[in-house]
């Protein structure tokens, strides 16, 4: 903790690069962190999240829940870390609908009739 109760956090991306470090209040929610990450995401990356729901944050091997604060999410191990906390970021973009499903939904419903004469 560098400044009066603030946590210094950097975010490790999938390719090993980092965003941060920056200072955050312990009352900051995980959802707010994700929204800030989407806004600060480097545009030169191959994978770019579109929304905060495309991201998962991992700290000490645990996936952090959106409604929890940093104070609730950090694992207490005696003294708080003196340095920078590294959180890993996983990007999972929402999957587009399959083409077959889209085609079936977009096609008008037709009734078919067939007769067999023997």
CATH number for 11 = 3.10.20.90
**Interstrand relation of 55-59 and 62-63 (parallel, antiparallel or unpaired):** antiparallel
Q: What is the pLDDT of residues 75-98, one digit of tens each?
A: 655 445 567 888 999 998 766 655
Residues 6+ apart with CB under 8 A from 12: 18, 86, 87, 88, 89
Residue 55, beta-bridge partner list: 91
Strand, coil or helix: 44: coil
In the chain, the number of structural domains is: 1
Average pLDDT over residues 10-28: 91
Q: What is the pLDDT of residues 25-55, one digit of tens each?
A: 999 999 999 999 999 999 888 888 989 999 9
Domain-located, residue 45: yes
Cβ count within 10 A of residue 74: 20
Radius of gyration over every alpha carbon of the chain, rounded to an integer in angstroms: 23
pLDDT confidence band for 72 (50 / 70 / 90): confident
**What domain range is 11 assigned to?**
7-106
For the question of whether the overall pTM of this predicted structure is more than 0.85, the answer is no
Domain-located, residue 114: no
Domain-located, residue 51: yes
Domain-located, residue 112: no
Domain-located, residue 28: yes
Domain-located, residue 62: yes
């Amino acid at each position: 903790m560098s400044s009066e109760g603030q946590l210094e956090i950097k975010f490790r991306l999938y390719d090993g690069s980092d965003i941060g470090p920056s200072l955050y209040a312990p009352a900051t929610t995980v959802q707010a962190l994700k929204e800030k990450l989407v806004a600060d995401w480097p545009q030169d990356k191959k994978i770019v999240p579109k929304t905060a729901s495309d991201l998962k944050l991992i700290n000490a091997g645990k996936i952090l829940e959106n409604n929890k604060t940093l104070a609730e999410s950090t694992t207490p191990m005696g003294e708080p870390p003196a340095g920078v906390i590294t959180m890993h970021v996983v990007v999972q973009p929402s999957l587009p609908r399959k083409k077959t499903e889209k085609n079936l939904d977009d096609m008008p419903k037709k009734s078919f009739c067939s007769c067999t004469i023997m």
